[in-house]
Amino acid sequence: MSTLITNIAELMTQDLEHRVLKDAAMVIEGERIAWLGQAASAPAADDAVDAGGRAVLPGWVDSHTHLVFAGDRTAEFEARMAGEQYSAGGIAVTVDATRRTSDFDLTRLAMARVSEAVSLGTTYLETKTGYGLDTEHEARSARIASTVADEVTYLGAHLVPAGLDADAYTDLVCGPMLDAVRPYVRWADVFCEKGAFTAEQSRRVLQACRDAGLGIRVHGNQLGEGPGVQLATELGAASVDHVNYLASQDVAALADSWTGWDPSTGTGARGTVATCLPACDLSTRQPLPPARALLDAGAQVALASNCNPGTSYTSSMAFCVATAVLQMRLSVHEAVRAATYGGALALHRETGNDADGERAVGSLAVGHRADVHMLNAPSATHLAYRPGMPLTYAVWRAGVPAR
């Protein structure tokens, strides 16, 4: 079954050529993109959709979320808005609520959050464990996450539970807990931050998880300058997320990690993506990451929602894009690219086509997965020009209409 989407005012591909096509069309066949180009040259298809002069872009790739949780932290949010400083300690509130919630209800809650994200244009997303913090509940969270998300990350090293010795807990994260979650996860992460895990503890976690065959990521440089970026680039992590407080050497390390990679072909030695989480920064009143400086230096940047109950309870990638344009000095094209191709790059899912069957996400090109986001606007510029407006008109996820 093939579907022709025609009368597209603006088709922002976010492919390696950075093409933006006017008066365009595309053909979806099964789960893949079969053709795209000028509407006047479009081939016939089994079905047709008239875009009505609307814009089309890739579905959002949300590379950093925490969706498997229960409970409510509005009181913490209210206190923070009243001037209380953010610390990582509130995670314990969610851990307690999550442990007391049944598998059925945790799954139902996570599925509802995924549905919300898809309704807002997200077509591929990652989520983490990290609200179990013992072997039984981390394994349960990983298993549930694997049924609702496209990518699952092990975050047993989210916080040291109250009353436990930090080094002994790190041993647990690197041993029995890792063994228990391993069947359900592709990635591992660590919160390398004051009040969470030290550089040495973080290194132990990342090395153990890498030895177990997992890709690695880092929460770093959120609350102040610290070792997160340097550790991530040294160990070849796929991404380091938050990156609010960067010294000049941190920016240089992130840029230098991509010197062996050819952005025109997407080949060569990949580096560490700097993932910015602006919705979280607004909620915690942290300075926004220096995304402009990172791009200008040659680093690769992603935008993600960080949807979680304590510091960023939103899955609106459009909100993140608007913030990046209005407050972080990115162009609309750069912000959309960070929220699509950048997220795919951070998840190692930016490549793949008909030949290998592992279809790329985060960009629109022949052979890539048909993850399509149609806006109720003639161009992507409206995402920042009309911030906060419900601009998602239609979504296809792996070729299937989702809205």
Per-residue pLDDT tens over the stretch 106-125: 999 999 999 999 999 999 99
Strand duo 60-62 + 122-128: pairing: parallel
Paired strand residues for 190:
157
Contacts of 308 (CB under 8 A, 6+ apart): 65, 66, 69, 280
In this chain, the answer to whether the domains covering 2-59+353-401 and 60-330 adopt an identical fold is no
User: Would you state the pLDDT for residue 89?
Assistant: 66
Residue 92: pLDDT band (50, 70, 90) is confident
The residue among 201 and 352 whose pLDDT is bigger is: 201
Q: What is the chain's Cα-based Rg?
A: 20
Q: Cα–Cα distance between 196 and 198 in angstroms, integer?
A: 7
Residues 299-308: what's their mean pLDDT?
98
Contacts of 61 (CB under 8 A, 6+ apart): 122, 123, 124, 125, 302, 339, 340, 341, 342, 343, 344, 347, 349, 361, 362
Alpha carbon of 275 to those of 27, 133, 342: distances in Å?
Answer: 32, 24, 8
DSSP 8-state assignment for residue 307: B
- What CATH topology corresponds to 60-330? TIM Barrel (3.20.20)
Rounded to the nearest 5°, which phi and psi values hold at 229?
A: -65, -45
Q: 123 is written with which tokens?
A: 């077509």
Terminal Cα-to-Cα distance of the chain (whole angstroms)? 18
Burial-class residue 211 by CB neighbours within 10 Å (0-12, 13-18, 19+).
exposed
> What 3-state DSSP class applies to 88?
helix
364 close to 45: Cβ distance less than 8 angstroms = no
Q: How many CA atoms lie within 13 A of 34 on its CB side?
A: 16
| Segments making up each domain of the chain, as ranges | 2-59+353-401, 60-330
Domain 2-59+353-401 has CATH 3.30.70.980: no
> What 3-state DSSP class applies to 181?
helix
Residues 237-251: what's their mean pLDDT?
98
> What 3-state DSSP class applies to 373?
strand
Helix (H) or strand (E) run with residue 345 in it? helix 341-346
Residue 358: pLDDT band (50, 70, 90) is confident
Is the predicted pLDDT of residue 88 greater than 70, yes or no? no
Burial-class residue 352 by CB neighbours within 10 Å (0-12, 13-18, 19+).
middle
Q: Does this model's pTM top 0.95?
A: yes
User: Would you state the pLDDT for residue 263?
Assistant: 87
Q: Cα–Cα distance between 91 and 160 in angstroms, integer?
A: 10
Is the predicted pLDDT of residue 216 greater than 90, yes or no? yes
How high is the mean pLDDT of the chain?
Answer: 96
Closest CA to 275 of 318, 306, 310: 306
**47-58 sheet: strands from edge to edge:** 32-38, 20-29, 2-12, 47-58, 372-375, 392-397, 400-401
Contacts of 200 (CB under 8 A, 6+ apart): none
User: Would you state the pLDDT for residue 96?
Assistant: 94
User: Would you state the pLDDT for residue 146?
Assistant: 98
Helix (H) or strand (E) run with residue 28 in it? strand 20-29
63 close to 369: Cβ distance less than 8 angstroms = no
